[in-house]
Amino acid sequence: MRIGIFGGSFNPIHIGHLILAQECWDKFRLDKVIFVPAYMPPHKELQGKVSAADRLNMVRIALEGDDRFEISTYEIDQAAVSYSIDTIKYLKGKYEKNDTFFFLTGADSAENLSKWKDIDKILELTTFIIATRPGWNEDNAYEDSVKYATIPLVEISSTMIRDRIKKRKPIDFLIPCKVVQYIRDKGLYRG
C-alpha cells in the first residue's frame, strides 16, 4: 500500500487541508491518507482554546464518508507534545513492511525542516511531500530529499477562520458545512 500521513493541529480543519490531501492522494497514487491531529504540536502554541477532543471531532466530521481518508488518534492519545518521527514509527509498525509511506505537509511547515526532530530519519522512513502553491519557490536545504505537489491556490488558514469567527463573520464554504455547524453548536473560537 501507498499511505500518506498528514499531521496537523487542524484548528479547525478547512478545505485547504482537504484539497492538499486530495491532490497528494491523486498525484502520488496513494491508497489512503491518514490524518493525524496533534495533541500539542512542538513548534507552535495552539490558539483558540479548543480541546483536542473538539479538534478530533471536527476532523472526523470533515472526513465522514470519504474512503480515501482516515484518522489516527495516536498523537491525541499520547496527551503530550507530538513529534512526527514518533508518529511515523508508530504507523509504520501497524502496517506491512513493504508498504510505502509519504509524509504530507504544506510549504509553510516545510520552511523549518532543519528544526524538526530527527528530520534525517523522517526522510529515511518516508517520502516527504511538500504541497506548494503556484509561484512558490522557497529554497530548501532538503530539496533533493523531497517531492513537491502543487496544489490550487486557496487563501485559507485556520488562523483566518478563527479570526473570522471572533469577528462574527461568516465561515461558510471555507470549511465543510457540517464542521461549520459543529463550531456554531459548540460556540468554538468565539473568544
Q: What is the pLDDT, as a whole number, of residue 107?
A: 78
More confident residue, 170 or 136: 170
pLDDT: which is higher, 142 or 185: 185
Asked if the structure places residue 67 within a domain, the reply is: yes
User: Quick one: pLDDT at residue 134?
Assistant: 60
Which pLDDT tens digit goes with each residue over 121-134? Answer: 999 999 999 888 66
Residue 160 included in any domain: no
- State how far the Cα of 26 lies from the Cα of 63, in Å rounded to an integer: 16
**Domain-located, residue 175:** no
Q: Does residue 82 lie within any of the structural domains?
A: yes
Spatial separation of the C-alpha atoms in residues 170 and 160, rounded to whole Å: 11
Residue 188 lies in a domain: no
- The number of domains in the chain is 1
CB 183 within 8 A of CB 58: yes
pTM of the full structure? 0.92
Per-residue pLDDT tens over the stretch 87-119: 999 999 999 999 999 999 987 777 778 888 999
> What is the identity of the amino acid at 94?
K
Model pLDDT, residue 55? 97
Asked if residues 63 and 69 have their Cβ atoms less than 8 Å apart, the reply is yes
With respect to residue 128, please indicate whether it lies within any of the assigned structural domains: yes
pLDDT, tens digit (0-9, with 9 covering 90-100), for 46-93: 666 899 999 999 999 999 999 999 999 999 999 999 899 999 999 999
Domain annotation covers residue 177: no
Q: Which H or E element spans position 148? A: strand 146-150
Q: Where in the sequence is the domain holding 105, given as residue range(s)? A: 2-155
**CATH number of the domain residue 104 falls in:** 3.40.50.620
Q: How many CB atoms lie within 10 A of CB 100?
A: 14
Looking at residue 19, its pLDDT comes to 95
Whether 73 is in a domain gets the answer yes
Residue 42 has pLDDT above 90, yes or no: no
